[in-house]
Amino acid sequence: METRNQVKKKIFEIFKEFMMGIAELEELGNAANSFLLRFQQALNETALAIETATKFSIQLDKDTSDEELRQATCDEENETVHFSQEHEVTEYATLIAVVYSMMKQNYVMQEKIVRSLSLKSSSGELETYSLMWSLRPFVEDEIVNRAWKWIY
């Protein structure tokens, strides 16, 4: 039979491990929140850049005479470059919005999981939370991988 000191020591170790886990969760939560704030700022800057590029493009179209436009469209190389650049800006903007939305939904889910954790959580609940956390149901890996491929 265990002595009172041994039981007390085991309980203290369990408590210590638990509190370290809580600290890690808080650190992850803070890091995720900071990341999302920076990501939101980047999204806003990107939206501003897209708006500026669109205005510039519209102004450029207004300033371009019909003759210049005909010459540009006759030259396949110029046409391809012009349209692919416009399309690329739209794709970047769309991809940023989609990835941001996925990450935000994932963060909200994680935040809800952390808030619902308690000493009364059953092992089944903990397994479910762990599974949801690792599956990242709101994140489409194919889309994120596509975004990474555009960078590298």
So what's the pLDDT on residue 149?
84
For residue range 94-147, what is the model confidence (pLDDT) as tens digits? 787 888 888 888 888 888 888 888 888 888 988 898 888 888 899 899 988 888
CA distances (Å), 52 to each of 49, 75, 80, 113, in order?
5, 26, 22, 40
Q: What is the gyration radius of the CA atoms in the chain, in angstroms?
A: 26
Least confident span in 33-37, 75-79, 99-103, 105-109: 75-79
Amino acid letter, residue 19: M
Could you tell me the pTM of the whole model?
Answer: 0.50
Q: Is the pLDDT of residue 64 over 60?
A: no
Average pLDDT, the chain: 75
Around Cβ 106, how many Cβ atoms within 10 Å? 19
Which H or E run includes 26? Answer: helix 4-63
14 in Cβ contact with 119 (< 8 Å) = no
Q: How confident is the model at residue 10 (pLDDT cuts 50, 70, 90)?
A: confident
Query: Of 6, 25, 20, which is closest to residue 110 (Cα–Cα)?
Result: 25
**103: which residues sit within 8 A by CB, 6+ positions away?**
36, 39, 139
Looking at the chain, which runs of residues are DSSP E strands?
A: none
Delimit the domains of the chain by residue range.
Answer: 4-151
